[in-house]
Amino acid sequence: MAKEKESTNLFDYNEDSIKTLEWREHIRLRPGMYIGKLGDGSSPDDGIYVLLKEVIDNCIDEHTMGHGKHIDINIEKGTVTVRDFGRGIPLGKVVDVVSKINTGAKYDSKVFQKAVGLNGVGTKAVNALSHYFKVTAFRDGKEKTAEFERGILTKDHKEVKSSEDNGTLVTFIPDETVFKNFHYIHEYLDKQLWNYCYLNAGLIINFNGKKYVSKNGLLDLLQRSTNEDELRYPIIHLKGEDIEIAITHENQYGEEYYSFVNGQFTTQGGTHLAAFKEGYVKTVREFFKKDYDASDIRGSISAAISVRVQEPVFESQTKTKLGSLTVSEGGPTMKNFIGDFLSRDLDLYLHKNPAVAEALKKRVEQNERERKELAGIKKLANERAKKANLHNKKLRDCRYHYNDEPTGKEKDTIIEKAKESTIFITEGDSASGSITKARNVETQAVFSLRGKPLNCFSLTKKVVYENEEFNLLQHALNIEDGYEDLRYNNIVIATDADVDGLHIRLLLMTFFLQFFPDLVKNQHIYILQTPLFRVRNKQETIYCYDESEKQAAMKKLGSKPEITRFKGLGEISPDEFGRFIGREMRLDPVMLMQDTHIQQLLEYYMGKNTPERQDFIIDNLRVEIDSVDEVAKNE
């Protein structure tokens, strides 16, 4: 028998392969396990917002336990300061609580009943991922302070006397080596803080001089996020022990849900949201004694649900999806708890308010008629989509998708990559070709439009299936049957920065706002920024996104550098494009303020050419010209 060849593997698995990392080293090496994706602040689930949330969650847990009625928050030039007025960290444990993994009071259910933070990880992750981190505890006339840099203790101050009220003060600066070019977007912070107030009626949050407070909880949430003129009936607001629900129907398409657990905004839902949907459909069917289709009952719904759960189980450290099957140890299942509440309290409300019940019935039956009218068209559209060979001609897909179910040892990696999953919607073969060659095939897909899409303002959803481009785009995103099956976390509109490109951008935004507003409201739509100029000499190349950046680059390089004005995406080579859709990608989120009325917005910008819109265009054109003139004058 021939002698087996000895292994020539350069990466032998032996004792030297086994390594033990300190807590801070592991967090910094695998930040996705602790805070999800990193990002620069362009997306609401980027890491810098998670860091803030982890600190505030501790303040909320104190408030929930009856300690501290207000929280002060200040964010200035990347420095975050959070002060609560709870009991304060026990002074002898200040350093341990923020620097020793799996250390905290949340393991004792008697101390923190139904809290958000249960794993003793949150503030440790903030500490490890911050360039600077400082914590001060005020307790019973004394205070204790500790300072850190990237998780390493730099100053352990002695206990001193204090005249401050009890509570905890945390200051941190996110590490720029981890969060490249990070910036906080006020609209994201505004929504995040309002959600805390909705879930904790009476809590006062002071943020950079602005006061946030809610008296009516989830009722206030729906009142701010819906338009009173578009509601089919007044908001139904129900409260019980450990549960609160608000429900209404609007005229827009889609379903919109806000779900919370122990004050945590579960952006991906979970067992409580699934139980609500099922229980709501069952209650409506039984009340009207008719087997309506579930999609007709939930169509155009806007609802919020909040539950309090003892020791909740989330599917990741970022707590965006609840996995708990029961409300408490030995207690009812989530399905029975929420289902029984709806069958009792919602049924009673509808019996006591027949006008609301009648309006709800009319909305459901309208959805039913529209669904049946679309049935034949949808079938033909699906056949057309298959014949169009979507995934070969229109769509260059990626490997990881937003709705992938993570399994196995690579669970955290898959979750992180799924959150990074992006589809670029572009127009023309040259532009889509450059992006396709430069993209990351693991997480980035490309959908190519053909020409300008239709202005679909005021049209019905029938147009989505009759228009080939919209029909194929809908299938590529996998949103025909709802937002939950969305294939990509980030939908990026990538068009030329000229008049035609901007027009295409507006038409696509109109499509999403008209038929899939929940994609916009849940921050999935972005605009890709691409450079307008390339300024270079023999030593350096600088890409500039506006006139002021171009002027600064010219000044820096001096000696009459070569200046190229990009007319379109197709002029940017794939090698160059790789810079603009990689780690340094600049995205402008498409955002709606909570008091924005979508139909009025579309009417103003995409409806008939009114004198008001003409004045708006002229005024803003003057502002743009004045800003360019000012830059030129300063030079």
How many angstroms separate the first and last alpha carbons of the chain? 83
**CATH code for the domain of 241:** 3.30.230.10
211 or 385, which is more confident: 211
Residue 508 within any structural domain of the chain: yes
Least confident segment among 5-14, 18-27, 437-446: 5-14
**CATH code for the domain of 438:** 3.40.50.670
> Can you give the pLDDT at residue 319?
66
Please tell me whether residues 453 and 477 are part of one structural domain: yes
How many Å separate Cα 97 from the centre of its chain? 29
Please tell me whether residues 360 and 430 are part of one structural domain: no
Please tell me whether residues 53 and 165 are part of one structural domain: yes
Tell me the residue length of the chain. 635
3-class secondary structure, 11: coil
Summarize the confidence of residues 4-9 as an average pLDDT. Answer: 48
Looking at 373-443, which runs of residues are DSSP E strands?
A: 395-396, 422-427
Please tell me whether residues 133 and 45 are part of one structural domain: yes
Residue 101 within any structural domain of the chain: yes
Residue 198 reports pLDDT greater than 70: yes
> Can you give the pLDDT at residue 380?
77
Q: What is the pLDDT of residues 280-315, one digit of tens each?
A: 999 999 999 999 999 999 988 999 999 988 877 777
Residue 575 within any structural domain of the chain: yes
Please tell me the distance from the alpha carbon of residue 220 to that of residue 634, in angstroms, as a whole number: 48
Summarize the confidence of residues 351-378 as an average pLDDT. Answer: 91
Summarize the confidence of residues 320-337 as an average pLDDT. Answer: 82
Summarize the confidence of residues 53-73 as an average pLDDT. Answer: 90
Distant-in-sequence, close-in-space partners of 282: CB < 8 Å, separation ≥ 6: 339, 342, 343
SS (H, E, C) 552-582: HHHHHHCCCCEEEECCCHHHCCHHHHHHHCC
User: Of 193, 212, 231, which marks where a domain is finished?
Assistant: 212
Summarize the confidence of residues 40-44 as an average pLDDT. Answer: 85
> Can you give the pLDDT at residue 283?
96
Please tell me whether residues 358 and 231 are part of one structural domain: yes
Residue 207 reports pLDDT greater than 90: yes
Please tell me whether residues 297 and 339 are part of one structural domain: yes
User: Of 371, 401, 432, which marks where a domain is finished?
Assistant: 371
> Can you give the pLDDT at residue 55?
93
Q: What is the pLDDT of residues 470-481, one digit of tens each?
A: 988 998 998 887
Residue 383 within any structural domain of the chain: no
CB 252 within 8 A of CB 230: yes
Please tell me the distance from the alpha carbon of residue 71 to that of residue 57, in angstroms, as a whole number: 11
Q: What is the pLDDT of residues 422-457, one digit of tens each?
A: 999 998 777 788 888 889 999 999 999 888 888 988
Residue 305 within any structural domain of the chain: yes
Residue 134 reports pLDDT greater than 90: yes
Please tell me whether residues 156 and 254 are part of one structural domain: no
Average pLDDT, the chain: 84
Please tell me the distance from the alpha carbon of residue 144 to that of residue 161, in angstroms, as a whole number: 9
> Can you give the pLDDT at residue 415?
65
Least confident segment among 108-122, 250-264, 488-502: 108-122
499 or 557, which is more confident: 557
Please tell me whether residues 405 and 426 are part of one structural domain: yes
Q: Is the dihedral of CA 205, 208, 211, 212 positive or negative?
A: negative
**CATH code for the domain of 165:** 3.30.565.10
Residue 635 reports pLDDT greater than 80: no
Residue 472: exposure state from Cβ atoms within 10 A (0-12, 13-18, ≥19): buried
Residue 103 reports pLDDT greater than 90: no
Q: What is the pLDDT of residues 490-535, one digit of tens each?
A: 999 998 877 888 889 999 999 999 888 888 888 899 999 888 899 9
594 or 4, which is more confident: 594
Into how many domains does the chain fold? 4
How sure is the predictor about 368, in pLDDT bands with cuts at 50, 70 and 90?
A: very high
Residue 509 within any structural domain of the chain: yes
Least confident segment among 91-100, 116-125, 625-634: 625-634
3-class secondary structure, 264: strand
Please tell me whether residues 354 and 429 are part of one structural domain: no
Structure tokens at 492: 């990026």
Residue 267 reports pLDDT greater than 60: yes
Summarize the confidence of residues 252-268 as an average pLDDT. Answer: 84
Structure tokens at 559: 């000696």
Please tell me whether residues 179 and 238 are part of one structural domain: no
> Can you give the pLDDT at residue 107?
41
Question: Of the candidates 536, 503, 516, which has an alpha carbon nearest to the alpha carbon of residue 605?
Answer: 503
> Can you give the pLDDT at residue 86?
93
Q: What is the pLDDT of residues 330-364, one digit of tens each?
A: 788 989 999 999 999 999 999 999 999 999 999 99
Residue 408: exposure state from Cβ atoms within 10 A (0-12, 13-18, ≥19): exposed
> Can you give the pLDDT at residue 104?
54
> Can you give the pLDDT at residue 110?
46
Please tell me whether residues 119 and 69 are part of one structural domain: yes
Please tell me whether residues 270 and 161 are part of one structural domain: no
Residue 269 reports pLDDT greater than 90: no
> Can you give the pLDDT at residue 130?
93
> Can you give the pLDDT at residue 17?
61
Highest mean pLDDT among 208-212, 455-459, 479-483: 208-212
Supply the range of the domain harboring residue 154: 23-212
Structure tokens at 442: 């693991």
Summarize the confidence of residues 218-242 as an average pLDDT. Answer: 87
User: Of 212, 231, 250, which marks where a domain is finished?
Assistant: 212
Buried b / exposed e over 603-623, threshold 16 CB at 10 Å, is eeebeeeeeeeeeeeeeeeee
CB 188 within 8 A of CB 587: no
> Can you give the pLDDT at residue 480?
81
Residue 7 within any structural domain of the chain: no
Distances (CA, A) of 142 to 81, 83, 91, 495, 526: 20, 16, 8, 59, 48
Residue 609 within any structural domain of the chain: no
